Amino acid sequence: MKNLIIIMLIAAGGYFVYEYVVKEKTVLEINADKSVSTSHSMDVDAPALGPTKRGSVRGTVKNVSDNVVTNIVLKYKLNTEPLEARIDQLEPGETRSFSTQSVMLRHSEVTFYLEEMSYE
């Protein structure tokens, strides 16, 4: 019985050390989606060209930590094209919108993912 209590205390201690010391804390909460626009270029004197599609990533980022976060860089891939959004500073609990630059899309199916996130 004594050994069982010791094992349970060691397991509980290990859990708390993991939760509060080892486990990486969430600092930023990011909600993003792709934005695709189509433009038609027509000229009376020129042959018709196909529509041009451009895409970007837009969304919001929220600081869920208790500290000020600065120099936030979000790097995305949109159909293998690198995109980047920068935010100078976020106060604790602050939410801010972001948008990346737009790129020309060669494919009709658009995929994107967050490749890298960095902050100070």
What's 107's domain CATH number? 2.60.40.10
Task: For residue 67, tell me if it sits in a domain.
Answer: yes
Which residue carries 């042959």 as its tokens? 47
Residue-wise pLDDT for 38-78, tens only, equals: 877 666 666 656 778 889 999 999 999 889 999 999 999 99
**Which residue range forms the structural domain that includes residue 105?**
26-40+50-118
What is the count of structural domains for the chain?
1
Question: How much of the chain is in helix, strand and coil states, percent to nearest 5?
Answer: 20, 50, 35
Of 112, 64, 70, the C-alpha closest to 90 is: 70
Residue 21 resides in a domain? no
- Residue 87 maps to a domain: yes
| 12 part of a folded domain | no
The answer as to whether 20 is a domain residue is: no
pTM: 0.72
The string of pLDDT tens digits covering residues 87-98 is: 999 999 999 999
